[in-house]
Structure 1
Amino acid sequence: MSSDAAGTTQIADGVVAKVAGIAARQVPGVHSIGGGASRAVGALRNAVGQQDHGQGVKVEVGETQAAADLSIVVDYPLSVQKVADDVRQAVADAITQLVGLEVVEINIEVSDIFIAGQDDDDKGDKADAQRVR
């Protein structure tokens, strides 16, 4: 059954941000999304059983186009440029396929690298804090 009913569809920025965030997290080599403060807030949300899939993602949504800015942390020793390129492609594909918008720009900021075996907190800072008591 097809419908010829008239009307409009408005897609909230948050929907596009969530789609982008989910797509980015699925790329191998992406340790996390967002800068330090954003990740800290995300850790608190995760601790209480909530997750913000749009964390670390900013979008602009028009009637037919979208642009996105993402901040990511890349796993060491992977190629930072390759991971960023893969994120850009995955996010563009997801927004186009799932939301139906043309993607005009995706900017990726690599805010950190993650080295396995180290906590997200810098242990060097703790040692320095003890040294200057």
Structure 2
Amino acid sequence: MTNIDPTPHTSTVIDGLSTGTGKTVIHDSVVSKIAGIAAREVTGVYALGGGAARALGAIRNAISSTDLSQGVSVEVGETQVAVDISLVAEYPIELQKVADDVRFAVITAIETLVGMQVTEVNITINDVHMASDDDDTDPAEARVQ
């Protein structure tokens, strides 16, 4: 009869490397999704992705299939990850503050939830969104009514 050690083992190895109790594999898409969720939660981020990615995302949203990793690209190694994010920032929030806050949120989320070291988070701000961009009403039509 084999004695089973009831002590929990807290060490996990990522990318298929074995431990004494098994292995853990975390796919790149999971890391991308975690980074995307963390970035979207930052004040000043209107959307992730460039123009084409946002248009495709709008179609996905219309059919209720949101891509949480849109605008996020990751390179995952055995113990480290590098992240590239493209986003649209809200006006008039300082762009460098938005970038710094996104970088901090993504690093914190990946290191906490995935357990990997983040070597870099590169951020590209593609556009600035103004609340008036959402207004579909033509100002000339509004005055006529």
**Band the TM-score falls in, shorter-chain normalisation:** 0.7 to 0.9
Total equivalences in the alignment: 122
* 1:120 shift after superposition: 9.4
Do the aligned partners of residues 120 and 112 (structure 1) sit closer, same or farther apart at CA in structure 2, a change above 3 Å counting? farther
After superposition, what is the alpha-carbon deviation per residue over 1:54-92, rounded to whole angstroms, capped at 9, x for unaligned? 000000111111110000100001100000000000000
Provide TM-score, normalisation by structure 1: 0.86
Q: Percent identity?
A: 56
TM-score, length-scaled by structure 2: 0.79
Q: What is the deviation of 1:11? A: 1.0
1:43-62 CA distance string (max 9 Å, x none): 00000011110000000111
Higher relative contact order (CA 8 A, sep 6+): 1
3-state DSSP of counterpart to 1:58: strand
Corresponding residue of 2:40: 25
Matches of 2:8 and 2:129, distance apart in 1: 50
* Structure 1: gaps spanning 5 or more residues: 124-133
What is the correspondence of 1:84-99 to structure 2 with a 5 Å cutoff?
Answer: 84-99=99-114
Which residue of the other structure, out of 42, 57, 60, is the alignment partner of 1:45?
60
Report the residue type matching 2:67 in the other structure: D
Residue matched to 1:8: 23
Shift in CA distance, 48/77, structure 1 to aligned 2, threshold 3 Å: same
Larger Rg: 2
Compared with structure 1, are the counterparts of its residues 36 and 120 closer, same or farther at alpha carbon in structure 2 (3 Å cutoff)?
farther
